[in-house]
Chains A and B, each alone.
Chain A
């Protein structure tokens, strides 16, 4: 089967349609707009629905309506727009509606700029909005994964009745790479809880309000149990030269790509480096990090943020090994040389070289 060269953002749309998405509601924002462009072309072109909403606030509420009516739904945005969707995400979580949301991260805070950052980590990975909720979060690092993870996201959203986020960044979204459009195509099934506008489903109620604290606690407990299941069943990661490595990067998205090159370069300089790349950020590969920490290694959380993911790495490492934080802010992307030089310096400083 032929490969097609496409932007990561375009690959999202292809993956979505292969994953059975039928409705896209979105609002333009750089560097995520190509997802809306692609959806306008391919969702409409294949008899599905694309609608440009008046705001991200409206877009996410359209998801709420369409998801509650049983459709496979999605939207895409970048940090400033995703922040506006926090309200809707909380309602989706409270009403246990499946939906897929893509955040092509740009630099902040505020309007920031359109270059890559990974500073939406806390907002997306920790829930971010009102209440005790989580999103299942995938972190693609290539156009192929943009396609594959988005496709998978719809099945996962339906399976757990929860919001699934694709947390990516401006470079992975803008970068073009070959994408193989293969693998299974799925479609949504009829949902026993959805409101279909018929006599059979009219007993169903899409809501997040529980006035009785005891009932709301029960509902919250139920959500937490679901998240525990997600933590057991959904962790995904990839290891690159981690066996017998002394120095292991933990990185996702574009930073993982750069760290991969850094690992190659370090190994050519005789340093046993490796990379643990979380493919899911929630759930985080806690057990695997813990396992790596049974050896005398140094971990470096490399990310385009002030240490948001590093916190999760430290929690997983439980103080057993040193956890360094390599962070870049404002849309600045590290060079491979810059990273490898820093690793060498840090290893020397720690007396490990």
Chain B
């Protein structure tokens, strides 16, 4: 063992462990103490102790915060790379260390380590691999060797029953983003010297903001291996190293340019932030609505007919004329099946249930919609039928049926997609719910493609002309 003075990055006495405590909780011959010392030494060498934030995992090193005189987080089992990601995204200049054992990193936390590495988080991961669960008393780890006896593999680990030891450095090496991946071993004094270098390199790359570093350290666990410290180091070289080859997998050398990080936009605050949130489509009251009674509107059709957007447009128009409005869509996988409907309620009072069970207005854009909702319409209600594509009459005689060749009018106006605008215009003009002027004023703000604005305006006019032609407009 290499003896050296205790690093200043470690507490002089371990008060978090107990008053006046000078020795760690690690077992005699355990590798964690060595790795702790090497990390602490590197922190001092690099002058980064004060800005280091250390993730203690669940496992034997759960109490790493007893020892390191740095900012500390104790993390849930396997989640240290996710916690480290959270810290990384907040503290730009912190040096973030995720210190993990084999159960933590290669078992319960495989998703977290894989994705943190894949994002290239600028953190340093020290993976202490001793091929066994230490803290819980010696159960099989994901890195336990085939044939190795543990409390949960009393006859030895079976490749076909329990799976084989996972080489995490190799897994990391399958990803594009890590900048430094090396496996080292505490099996010999030379190995410890190499580990010292690897630890320092992994940290210095982070200081240079290069990206994700991963140092796997083969480490002894004499107690759970049921060996003395000397034999356990020998066991590393004789048994672990053949399965987990000690090598540098990747090293994007110092001196090459650090990867480019996407630039964050300027931080908006106060009024600038509010302005962004209010957006362009903030609604200002235009005129007072002449709506005669609360409107319970069902708009229904197939996907692509602009059912949902017609509902939104209607709701916005109502708000612009000082009414309350709610809009409830169909959503989720059903939408992708082609059925679309929106429930819109317009009222002068506070709106209770936003669900339109019994519409007094139905805009049926296609036949299935007419068939589905005709019976629900309140007596005295209005049903608008898109007669361009619905070859069926309304069968009820207690409602007003309006047949509007909406698709044809839209097509003549050069914008087949605007059949929703035809239906909306006819409905609003016929019932006098909102002013046609309101619709027109809203079009420039709400039509996404600017070249469609004029066409939409013309289609509104054509819809009104149609109503007049049919003698349906009272003015």
A and B bound? Answer: yes
Q: Which residues of A contact B268 (CB under 8 A)?
A: 45-47
Contact residues of A: prevailing secondary structure:
mixed
Q: Which residues of B contact A61 (CB under 8 A)?
A: 75-76, 79, 82-83, 86, 112
Question: Number of B residues contacting the other chain (C-beta, 8 Å)?
Answer: 73
Report B331-367 CB contacts with A as 1/0, cut-off 8 Å: 1110000000000000000111111010000000000
A245 interface residue per 8 A CB criterion: no
Q: Which segment of B66-74, B137-145, B193-201, B227-235 sits at the interface?
A: B66-74
A48 interface residue per 8 A CB criterion: yes
Q: Which residues of B contact A31 (CB under 8 A)?
A: 331-332
* Shortest Cβ distance from A15 into B: residue: B277
Q: Which residues of B contact A3 (CB under 8 A)?
A: 282-283, 319
Q: Which residues of A contact B267 (CB under 8 A)?
A: 46-48
Question: Which of A49, A61, A63, A185 neighbours the largest number of chain B CB atoms within 10 Å of its CB?
Answer: A61
Given A42-B277, A61-B82, A258-B353, A204 contacting B328 (CB threshold 8 A): no
A87 interface residue per 8 A CB criterion: yes
Total number of A-B contacts with CB less than 8 angstroms? 242
Q: Which residues of A contact B315 (CB under 8 A)?
A: 5, 176-178
Q: Which residues of A contact B16 (CB under 8 A)?
A: 205
Distance in Å: Cβ of B381 to nearest Cβ of chain A? 16
Segment 246-270 of A: residues with Cβ below 8 Å from B: 254, 257-262, 264
A165 interface residue per 8 A CB criterion: no
Given A68-B87, A197-B53, A187 contacting B269 (CB threshold 8 A): yes
| Inter-chain contact B269/A73, CB cutoff 8 Å | no
B278 interface residue per 8 A CB criterion: yes
| Inter-chain contact B79/A58, CB cutoff 8 Å | yes
User: Which 7 pairs of residues, A with B, have the shortest CB-CB distance?
Assistant: A65-B86, A197-B94, A261-B352, A47-B267, A2-B282, A61-B82, A66-B86
* Shortest Cβ distance from B279 into A: residue: A4
| Inter-chain contact B277/A18, CB cutoff 8 Å | yes
Binding site for B on A (CB under 8 A): 1-5, 14, 17-18, 22-23, 25, 30-31, 42, 44-49, 51, 53-55, 57-59, 61-71, 73, 87-88, 91, 95, 114, 170-171, 174-178, 181, 185, 187, 195-199, 201-202, 204-209, 254, 257-262, 264, 333, 335-337
Q: How many angstroms between the C-alpha atoms of A232 and B293 in the bound complex?
A: 44
Q: Which residues of B contact A91 (CB under 8 A)?
A: 75-76
| Inter-chain contact B111/A4, CB cutoff 8 Å | no
B298 interface residue per 8 A CB criterion: no
| Inter-chain contact A66/B276, CB cutoff 8 Å | no
Binding site for A on B (CB under 8 A): 16, 49-53, 56, 62, 65, 69-76, 79, 82-91, 93-96, 111-112, 114-115, 264-270, 273-274, 276-279, 281-284, 312, 315-316, 319, 324-329, 331-333, 350-355, 357
Q: Which residues of A contact B319 (CB under 8 A)?
A: 3, 5, 178
Q: Which residues of B contact A201 (CB under 8 A)?
A: 71
| Inter-chain contact B112/A54, CB cutoff 8 Å | yes
| Inter-chain contact A30/B332, CB cutoff 8 Å | yes
| Inter-chain contact A23/B86, CB cutoff 8 Å | yes
| Inter-chain contact B89/A202, CB cutoff 8 Å | no
* Shortest Cβ distance from B349 into A: residue: A264
Distance in Å: Cβ of A311 to nearest Cβ of chain B? 25
| Inter-chain contact A47/B50, CB cutoff 8 Å | no
Given contacts A49-B264, A91-B75, 11 further A-B contacts (CB under 8 A): A2-B283, A23-B86, A46-B273, A49-B89, A58-B115, A62-B83, A66-B89, A69-B91, A174-B328, A209-B74, A258-B355
| Inter-chain contact B72/A65, CB cutoff 8 Å | no
| Inter-chain contact B274/A18, CB cutoff 8 Å | yes
Q: Which residues of B contact A68 (CB under 8 A)?
A: 73, 83, 86-87
Q: How many angstroms between the C-alpha atoms of A210 and B353 in the bound complex?
A: 49
* Shortest Cβ distance from B80 into A: residue: A61
Q: How many angstroms between the C-alpha atoms of A188 and B278 in the bound complex?
A: 22
Question: Which of A62, A170, A205 neighbours the largest number of chain B CB atoms within 10 Å of its CB?
Answer: A62
Question: Which of A65, A114, A175, A178 neighbours the largest number of chain B CB atoms within 10 Å of its CB?
Answer: A65
Given A23-B89, A178-B283, A47 contacting B277 (CB threshold 8 A): no
| Inter-chain contact A205/B72, CB cutoff 8 Å | yes
Given A5-B327, A91-B76, A335-B357, A65 contacting B277 (CB threshold 8 A): no
* Shortest Cβ distance from A41 into B: residue: B276
Give the contacting residue for A65; candidates B82, B114, B281, B282; CB below 8 A.
B82
Q: How many angstroms between the C-alpha atoms of A4 and B315 in the bound complex?
A: 10
| Inter-chain contact A65/B353, CB cutoff 8 Å | no
- A selection of 11 A-B contacts at a CB cut-off of 8 Å is A3-B283, A4-B283, A31-B332, A49-B264, A58-B112, A61-B76, A64-B73, A65-B83, A195-B72, A195-B73, A196-B71
